[in-house]
Amino acid sequence: MSKNNIGKRYNVSTVIIIALLTIMVVGFGVEKFGKQGEGGTSSKAGAKDGSTADDLFKSLVGKPAPAFSLTDRSGNVYNNESLKGKRVVFFFNEGLICYPACWNQMLEFPKDKRFDQADVAVFSVVVDTKESWQKAIEKMPEMGNVKALFDNEKKASRDFQMLSASSSMHSGNLPGHTYVIIDKDGTIRYVLDDPRMAINNGTIYSEIEKLK
């Protein structure tokens, strides 16, 4: 066999080996990291209790809440200044289209007497219209107990970075299932983004009690 043929065989073998190694490396990368991109931004471990929050949400903690001005069904306006002196919970969620998960959590807050404190304010922040909520209440009167604030233009959701939540099934367009706790001075003290869309009253109550 000539040296040229031997050289060609080695070259072909080398190419095959390199190709196989490349496939193995790429496959490993997809297996290990591919799932992080599903549903928007990646989610990382947060508090010791097992809750998770995106790094972008963690970066909000310890900083003043972004300027907001939100209106309820009665036309009352809530903003940073009007809520000073209260421990505030904002539950950003997908609203009426998120049935039953978001509905269940929104309905659980007014039922939970632990939140009936003069210096505690719990709101569900939604991008729905007042008209759509009125129709929902006509079909299910219990929804009238929910303290909903309307973020029709998504300004608050955008400024609080809720449109990038891992819990959102409509990333970039709607919030997901995210809680923000603000202290009496207007500083964000806790954020919980829950892709499981569970009822988290116990965790939220525990966190606001730390702010007494």
Give me the tens of pLDDT residue by residue for the chain, a chain 212 residues long.
Answer: 544 444 444 454 544 444 444 433 333 332 332 332 322 233 343 444 444 446 777 889 999 999 999 999 999 999 999 999 999 999 999 999 999 999 999 999 999 999 999 999 999 999 999 999 999 999 999 999 999 999 999 999 999 999 989 998 898 899 999 999 999 999 999 999 999 999 999 999 999 999 99
Q: Which residues pair with 190 in a beta bridge?
A: 181
pLDDT score of 196: 95
Q: Kindly report the CATH number that applies to the domain delimited by 44-209.
A: 3.40.30.10
pLDDT score of 116: 97
Q: Where are the domains of the chain?
A: 3-37, 44-209
pLDDT score of 52: 44
117 contacts: CB under 8 Å, gap ≥ 6: 87
pLDDT score of 163: 93
Q: How far apart are CA 115 and CA 49, in angstroms?
A: 21
What is the chain's length? 212
Q: Which residues pair with 87 in a beta bridge?
A: 120
Q: How far apart are CA 194 and CA 47, in angstroms?
A: 12
By the 10 Å C-beta count (0-12 exposed, 13-18 middle, 19+ buried), 170 is classed as middle
**If you search the block for the tokens 């730390």, which residue do you land on?**
210
The answer to whether the CB of 194 falls within 8 A of the CB of 177 is yes
The answer to whether the CB of 93 falls within 8 A of the CB of 158 is no
CB neighbourhood size of 4 (10 A): 8
What are the b/e assignments for 66-84, b being 16+ CB within 10 Å?
Answer: eebebbbeeeeebeeeebe
Q: How far apart are CA 212 and CA 208, in angstroms?
A: 7
